[in-house]
Amino acid sequence: MSTKRSHGDDLRGASQLAVEATRGVMELVEQMQVASVSGPAILGRPLERPAKLVTGVVYGVVKGVTQLVGSAIDLALEALAPLLGASAPGAEREAVQGALNGVLGDYLRETANPLAIEMGLRSGGVPLTLEPEALRATFPAASGKLLVLVHGSSMTDRMWERGGHEHGAALARDLGFTPIYVRYNSGLHISTNGRELSSQLAQLVAAWPVAVDQLVLLGHSMGGLVARSACHIGEEAAHPWRERLHTLVTIGTPHHGAPLERGGSWLHLLLGVSRFSAPFARLGRIRSAGITDLRFGSVLDEHWEGRDRFAVGDDPRRTLSLPTNVRCFALAGSLSAAHGDKLRGDGMVPVESALGSHDALPLAFPEQHRAIALGTGHLDLLGASVYETIRTWLA
């Protein structure tokens, strides 16, 4: 499989985003102008209708021209793509793409933007072809112990390294695992990615060059939720890979949500209180489906289907147990230096959420399968300081 990416596609994707951003800003300014000249509500806003008529004509022309120019640029870049060439994306280029997909990934997919990431399994940053001969050539010393690593929101498969340490490479060295890395669009719903991951795991296990004796899923942050979703879907669909699953390890995973997303939903609500700030409330709707799923840790379709995902409300989830017949572990980070009555979270995820603790929907991680890394931030959970805990669990 080719590792090169068309420069023309990248330029087209960036151009499409720029055009849509310009149109969005115009709509925001238009709404603000209508609000400012419509008059106070107590007078019935007598100028609102004429203001809408005037601004509608003016901004309609400007937005139409913007769209026309954008379409012309897109067609030109598409024609020039063969001349612009292609190259293997570097780590920085992929990091930017991963961040864009985390924030706007659902929109990128809906608009068929070339920057949208398609889920795939990789090794060393190179996409894998899930066929026996191709995998045999890529992994001549393949073991029957498969370790599948699932990254977090707005990240990529090439961002597991932290301070010169990388969990997958270390577990390959110490315990004989063959690490496989998932790359996915973290802006999509977690259950959408879980369904696709289950399908990819089915293909991987079926095509693996040797019999898979032990399959381990290691998920960081959102990756732990995607892994749990895949386990549920794989079990319901009776996918053969599910029978091979031996261990699930989640590190810094918001099993019961993250406060930052909840803060975003309240900001969206507060901006809508005044008609002058209401136009800005649309900025709150930029958050992708993947990000809004992090409010409560939604991992099933039914957690979001038929709901306004931006609405502030109660936790819609039902109990989803940990996968059956699987050893499950949870590692939480804490910025606190010592144990106390109230441990701080890792800067992104509260300790209770990462450990699955919840009054109504607890996850039954055995006490000996839970650990807290003190003085450790969210991304530091990828570093060497917590590796011994993970290695001991998998040994």
The DSSP bridge partners found for residue 370 are 330
**Final residue belonging to a domain, choices 69, 87, 105:** 87
The range of the structural domain enclosing residue 58 comes to 5-87
Asked if residue 194 and residue 144 are part of one domain, the reply reads yes
Is position 97 within any domain? no
Residue bearing tokens 């609500």: 269
Give the pLDDT of residue 51: 41
Is 181:114 a contact under the CB 8 Å cutoff? no
Q: How far is CA 90 from CA 73, 119, 169, 210, 360, in A?
A: 25, 18, 20, 32, 45
Asked if residue 354 and residue 251 are part of one domain, the reply reads yes
Regions of the chain where pLDDT drops below 70: 1-90, 261-286, 309-310, 312-313
Query: Which residue stretches of the chain are H helix?
Result: 7-37, 48-84, 91-110, 132-138, 167-175, 190-207, 222-236, 240-244, 259-271, 278-281, 289-293, 351-354, 387-394
Asked if residue 125 and residue 77 are part of one domain, the reply reads no
Is position 272 within any domain? no
Phi then psi for 312, rounded to 5 degrees? -85, 125
Give the pLDDT of residue 231: 97
Asked if residue 128 and residue 27 are part of one domain, the reply reads no
Is position 100 within any domain? no
**Final residue belonging to a domain, choices 38, 65, 87:** 87
Asked if residue 323 and residue 193 are part of one domain, the reply reads yes
Whether the predicted model's global pTM rises above the 0.85 cut: no
Asked if residue 350 and residue 226 are part of one domain, the reply reads yes
Give the pLDDT of residue 13: 60
Is position 280 within any domain? no
Asked if residue 129 and residue 56 are part of one domain, the reply reads no
For 10-71, the DSSP string reads HHHHHHHHHHHHHHHHHHHHHHHHHHHHS--GGGT-TTHHHHHHHHHHHHHHHHHHHHHHHH
Asked if residue 149 and residue 18 are part of one domain, the reply reads no
Phi then psi for 165, rounded to 5 degrees? -110, 145
User: How far apart are the C-alpha atoms of 269 and 278, rounded to whole Å?
Assistant: 9
Asked if residue 124 and residue 82 are part of one domain, the reply reads no
Is position 146 within any domain? yes
Domain count along the chain: 2
The DSSP bridge partners found for residue 123 are 126
Asked if residue 327 and residue 224 are part of one domain, the reply reads yes
Residue bearing tokens 């989803």: 320
**Final residue belonging to a domain, choices 39, 66, 87:** 87
Give the domain CATH number at 167: 3.40.50.1820
Is position 264 within any domain? no
Asked if residue 140 and residue 75 are part of one domain, the reply reads no
Is position 298 within any domain? no
Is position 128 within any domain? yes
Q: Of all helices (H) and strands (E), which one includes residue 371?
A: strand 370-374
Asked if residue 345 and residue 241 are part of one domain, the reply reads yes
